[in-house]
Amino acid sequence: KTGRSPRDKRVVEESATVDDVWWGPVNKKLSAESFAANYERAANYLNTQDHMYVFDGFAGWDPRYRIKVRVVCARAYHALFMNNMLIRPTAEELENFGEPDFTIINAGQYPAEESADGMTSSTSVAISFERRQMVILGTEYAGEMKKGVFTVMHYLMPKAGVLSLHSSCNEGPRGDVSLFFGLSGTGKTTLSADPARLLIGDDEHVWTDTGVFNIEGGCYAKAIDLSAKKEPEIFNAIRFGSVLENVVYDEQTRAVDYSDRSITENTRCAYPIEYIPSAKVPCIGGHPKNIILLTCDAFGVLPPVSKLTPAQAMYHFISGYTAKIAGTEEGVTEPEATFSACFGQPFLVWHPVKYAQMLARKMQEHNAHVWLVNTGWSGGSYGVGKRISLNYSRAIIDAIHSGELEKAAYTNYSVFNLQIPQAVSKVPDRLLNPSDAWTGNPEEFSSTLAKLAQLFQANFKTYADKATPDIVAAGPQL
């Protein structure tokens, strides 16, 4: 497979965790008996192979919270991938590794038994917190292992009283830390790989009483249309030891064609974080000063940047609006409006409001500024407008980090009641207000804006009963 299979993810229903898990479409129940059958099926397959690979590594740079992870698989590609994505132990740490806290059994070349209880296809990605195991059948997409570890940490960290986040993170020369939230394709990895700032991590973090730490030891970047000019840090990280996935290359010269979409849009590269020259190792930083919520608006009506109040920050964090980008999941061939709670719903284990409440406390305690940044369409909806230039998005992020936007003059953007800066260095003024940038007629713009507002309102009904009145009121008003 060329992408994750969220419909095939299962969590075992167990007495120790049954009251913690947010059951439903994200976390579908699997019986302990079915999990045991899957484990046996995977183990039997692995035992028939001529070669088996085992990698031991850590998840979490803070020794107080890290867990020991063992990966058992039949493909060298999978072992190398997790060598890059987990934190690689020193020789001494490996010698004293002991028993793992969690084990991944990857028999992805072998299908699940479709007729078995709890199975809906030949693919199964199942987690048992009680057995501390993850079993993969019927998919060789390496990203399932990476996100499986994150799902485990997304359960264990809040249970330990610290906040796990689907975010990238970097640090400025003055020690100022920024968190970037956003689903795949919103620019999270790209915008956090900034040569002027130290990269703490590109995807998964934990916010503790002392600051933030990266869960991973590597980066997993999208490679479609990658070039040295557009994304030099990521392009130059592709060298011996990196893993390229789903790409097309010339078998004679071994040159990769990063523009080739014939396999999938979801071309990827996994590399150790130290392959980024500006990486900060150990990957630990202080408390965030700026929190940037990235969205890819396919309707073309959200501003490229807006400043959020605390209530708006919670509303948009819980909503997690973006557009699914082609290739990240099977069957998605063009951007499609979606809401993903906490900008990472497929990986949540607890109810979204638990993560939101923990984030609200952290933001208040450390007086963090929150920004909504749209890296999607401007001038019209998908198919009519154009994707906002990466150079403009970078300029906006630079203006946040320099403090320019803290001091800027703002105007109110109706319906969503967002505060839009009147000017941003190196960004055309006309682009800052979606109504000014719109190339169609005003009536079409108003109806499109209203349509998106209604989608927000309908989605938030799921969470309204657990949200405070000020958070509910921070949403769009028609």
Distance CA 5, CA 148 (A): 12
Could you tell me where the DSSP H helices lie in 6-131?
A: 32-47, 76-85, 91-95
Cβ-based neighbours of 456, under 8 Å, separated by 6 or more:
319, 321, 339, 475, 476
Contact predicate 12/127, CB 8 Å:
yes
Q: pTM of the entire structure?
A: 0.93
CA atoms within 13 A on the CB side of 413: 27
State the pLDDT at residue 334: 60
Active centre residues (catalytic): 4, 147, 166, 184, 188-189, 203, 268
Distance CA 308, CA 474 (A): 10
State the pLDDT at residue 185: 78
Distance CA 112, CA 138 (A): 6
Contact predicate 434/301, CB 8 Å:
yes
Interhelix angle for 310-319 vs 442-460, to 10°?
80
Q: Report mean pLDDT in 10-residue bins for the chain, 478 residues.
A: 94 97 95 97 97 98 98 98 98 98 98 92 97 98 97 98 97 97 85 92 96 97 93 94 97 97 95 95 98 94 97 96 69 74 95 93 96 96 91 98 97 97 98 96 95 94 90 95
Distance CA 64, CA 308 (A): 33
Distance CA 270, CA 283 (A): 17
State the pLDDT at residue 131: 98
**Dihedral sign from CA coordinates of 170, 283, 3, 115:** negative
Strand-pair partners of 338: 322
What are the C-alpha distances in Å from 269 to residues 87, 144, 147, 472?
A: 17, 14, 15, 39
Range 452-457 contact pairs with CB under 8 angstroms and sequence separation of 24 or more: 452/297, 452/299, 452/301, 452/302, 452/337, 452/476, 453/415, 453/416, 453/477, 453/478, 454/478, 455/321, 455/337, 455/339, 456/319, 456/321, 456/339
Interior/surface letters 291-306, b for 16+ CB within 10 angstroms, e for the rest: bbbbbbbbbbbbbbbb
Cβ-based neighbours of 210, under 8 Å, separated by 6 or more:
62, 286
Cβ-based neighbours of 137, under 8 Å, separated by 6 or more:
38, 41, 42, 107, 108, 110, 111, 112, 122, 123, 124
3 state DSSP class of 456: helix
Distance CA 24, CA 464 (A): 17
Contact predicate 41/113, CB 8 Å:
yes
What would the two tokens of residue 285 be?
């930083």
* Of 41, 37, 186, 222, nearest in space to 117 by CA: 37
